[in-house]
Chain A
Amino acid sequence: MWDGIFTGLTTAVAPFNIMMVVVGCFCGTFIGMLPGLGPISAVALMIPITYGLDPSSGIILMAGVYYGAVFGGSTSSILINAPGCSSTVVTAFDGYPMAQQGQAGKALALAAYCSFTGGTIGALILLVAAPALATVSLSFQSSDYFALMVLGLSAVAAFSGKGQVLKALLMTIFGLMIATIGTDVIYGIPRFTFGNLDLIDGISFLLLAMATFALAEVVMTVLKGEHKEDDVPMDMSSLGSMKLSKEEVKHVAPTAGRSSLFGFLVGVLPGAGATIAAFLAYGVERNLAPRAIKDKFGKGALRGLAAPEAANNAASTGSFVPLLTLGIPGSGTTAIMLGALIAYGIQPGPRLFVDNPEVFWSVIISMYFGNIVLLILNLPLIPYISRLLIIPRPILIPLILFFSITGVYLVSFNSFDIELMVLITVVAIFLRLLSFPMAPMLLGFILGGMMETNLSRALIISDGSLAFLWERPLTALIMSIAIIALLLPIFGRYIGLKRFSADSLVVADKGEG
């Protein structure tokens, strides 16, 4: 393990990789600030750039963008009450009132310190938990993997909002269906290509991610007429002091610690993600607070800002645990990273720890660097970065559209891909209008190929019998958890477990899943 950590450290401190962390955090902060564009879009927009890099640098860049986007989302939540992504919606509850009271600088600083705390605690737990889990999962067989993928996909439904369970399940199935388009990896037979040679290799995940997130989100902004809105009612030059007093630090420190631990645990659960972590941490903190402080929640309470900020960053780190150790993404953003890793020829999972220790450890270590960069570089630069919000939307929107489509074109150099993007965007818009969440579809699409391969192996080994689902204890255990995850939304309603997610469902589609 220590050899691996040393290799990772050597990779992570390479000047080029440190530059990737800085560039990633900076770009992520900017993209995350733009209302509507969340971490998924930010990471998707970076993928074409990462194809030219080696795997470690590429993933480090994407991890930096992820962090930066969550932080950028907090900034726009605090300054203009327009969350850049769903995981920072809760930040606006107390952050924006603070900004209105002339304490924007303090709110931003507190958000940055708490994000740093969340990220640091998350990275430390990841350092211990990931290799331990990876060691255990080395004994996994095809049937266990198949069960794990079923669990990952059903967990998406478990953590979707009230009334969204069936929609999330349908979108997961839809993603799995799209994954079957193209040549079958096991038998080499073309499926659903209708004689079109452009579909022989299937639909690229980058195309699907860009069309359903980056492109569709921008188009939805135009569809709702939000591109005409002016977002900058506040004077960016007068953010107020960024200093916190000793009493204030003492007041929020336990909150940040608690919420970080809590956020990490929620983030580890497949499908839960930073949004639910932030909502839950806020709710828990409000319940724990004494009456006098509880009344201040929603009106600029320091603890109300600290809790979601620490939790969403810790959850972002936590979501890397299933990705790096089991090869199952914990959120929409890590689903995109999974796709990128596969494109590099790296199979995330327990073998990653053994086969590519430099990727495994450098990602974990660079996450910590990312937190430091956000604290010492981005925080002082916020007044300047936030000026970018002044760029008029009629200029910004065509530029984002351009980056989305050229990102896909520059990988394939095939204009058919752009036409297909238009078609998928149209479908995505209609599904969004019908309140269907997009993240489960992407998750289904990415896991589809792996799921089919593992199911095929397990069935061939068991001579066509489905008994492998219950004969092997580990497979049976995971399948049982998957069934509980599926039934939870139905029975959870009666035992009050669903209350927390009711608010998040409205925004669950925006970026962080």
Chain B
Amino acid sequence: MTLNKDHIGGLIFLTISVVYGYYAYEIRMFPGDQFEPFNAQTLPIALAWVGGLISLVMLVTAGRSQEPNPNLAQLNFLLVGKLLVLVWLFAQALSWIGFLASTILFLIVGYWILGERNPRTLLLASVPFAVGFWLLLAKVLDIYLAPGKLWQMVLGA
């Protein structure tokens, strides 16, 4: 038997429902809450059961699905991985080098990852945009953007 999209989807949601259900029963309550008609566990437990039931129905009926499986070889997971790592690094960089420098670096590296190699374009499409956006936030809208720990350590500000 070949696993199709619905089999995989059903299995994933069955797992989610079981794990969610396990933790739903672990939710701590105040003494006496268990005797109330509705408590903090009621909805999560109901959701876990309904989710598990629908997942099982999906698994049983998955054989009828005629949807083609995605051709994974045609999908560029590496490029997407690089972009998502870049987003994650942007999150880390914000507290260290501040909003402006993080934005400039994020955009330059992002353009680079997607194939832009012209240094002029890389700089012109990032620096003026980042500076303009930073000025809008910090000076016009008066939003406080922390300068970054690194600059504070180096400059002692």
Interface set of A (CB-CB < 8 Å, partner B): 52, 163, 166-167, 169-170, 173-174, 176-177, 180, 184, 186-187, 189, 191-192, 215, 219, 222-225, 227-228, 392-395, 397-399, 401-402, 405-406, 409-410, 415-416, 418-419, 421-422, 425-426, 429, 431, 433-436, 451-452, 455-456, 459-460, 462-465
Contact = CB atoms under 8 A, between A and B. Distances in A.
A405 B90 contact: yes
A54 to B, nearest CB: 15
Given A173-B51, A222-B76, A189 B23 contact: no
A177 B44 contact: yes
A167 B33 CA distance: 34
A463 B51 contact: no
B74 interface: yes
B91 A415 contact: yes
Nearest to B122: A395
B38 A459 contact: yes
B87 A434 contact: no
A176 B23 CA distance: 15
B67 to A, nearest CB: 6
A464 B50 CA distance: 20
Given A222-B79, A405-B87, A459-B37, 7 more contacts: A170-B13, A170-B55, A191-B44, A192-B20, A192-B27, A399-B107, A422-B88
Nearest to B55: A170
A422 B84 CA distance: 6
B15 interface: no
Contacts of A166: 6, 54, 57-58, 61
A261 to B, nearest CB: 35
19 contacts: A166-B58, A167-B6, A167-B9, A167-B58, A170-B54, A186-B38, A192-B23, A192-B27, A215-B87, A227-B114, A392-B116, A397-B110, A415-B94, A416-B91, A421-B87, A433-B70, A436-B9, A451-B43, A464-B36
Interface string B1-21: 000011011001100110010
Contact of B84 (A163, A219, A399, A435): A219
B13 A174 contact: yes
B5 A434 contact: yes
Nearest to B137: A410
A463 B42 CA distance: 14
B114 to A, nearest CB: 4
B155 interface: no
Interface in B61-89: 61, 65-67, 70, 74-77, 79-80, 83-84, 87-88
A425 B85 CA distance: 12
Given A222-B83, A225-B76, A456-B38, A174 B51 contact: yes
B135 interface: no
A398 B55 contact: no
B54 A418 contact: no
B119 interface: no
Contacts of B66: 163
A468 to B, nearest CB: 11
B129 interface: yes
A392 B121 CA distance: 11
Q: Is the interface of B mostly helix, strand, loop or mixed?
A: helix
Given A227-B114, A395-B111, A415-B92, A219 B83 contact: yes
Interface in B83-109: 83-84, 87-88, 90-92, 94-95, 103, 106-107
B39 interface: yes
A90 to B, nearest CB: 22
Contacts of B70: 433
A474 B113 CA distance: 57
A223 to B, nearest CB: 5
B47 A173 contact: yes
Contacts of A176: 43, 47
A464 B38 CA distance: 7
A421 B107 CA distance: 18
B27 A402 contact: no
Given A166-B54, A177-B47, A460-B37, A225 B74 contact: yes
Nearest to A417: B91
A184 B38 CA distance: 12
A196 to B, nearest CB: 13
Contacts of A399: 107, 129
B29 interface: yes
Nearest to A405: B87
Nearest to A394: B114
B47 A395 contact: no
B150 interface: no
Contact of A219 (B16, B37, B80, B129): B80
Given A173-B54, A219-B84, A398 B47 contact: no
Interface string B129-149: 100000001000101000000
Contact of A394 (B90, B106, B111): B111
A459 B137 CA distance: 48
Contacts of B12: 434
B88 A418 contact: yes
Contact of A177 (B20, B40, B42, B84): B20
A264 B137 CA distance: 40
Contact of B29 (A189, A219, A225, A433): A189
Contacts of A418: 87-88, 90-91, 94
B27 to A, nearest CB: 5
B20 to A, nearest CB: 6
A170 B9 contact: yes
B115 interface: yes
A219 B78 CA distance: 12
Contacts of A225: 74-76
A225 B80 CA distance: 10
Contacts of A180: 43-44, 47
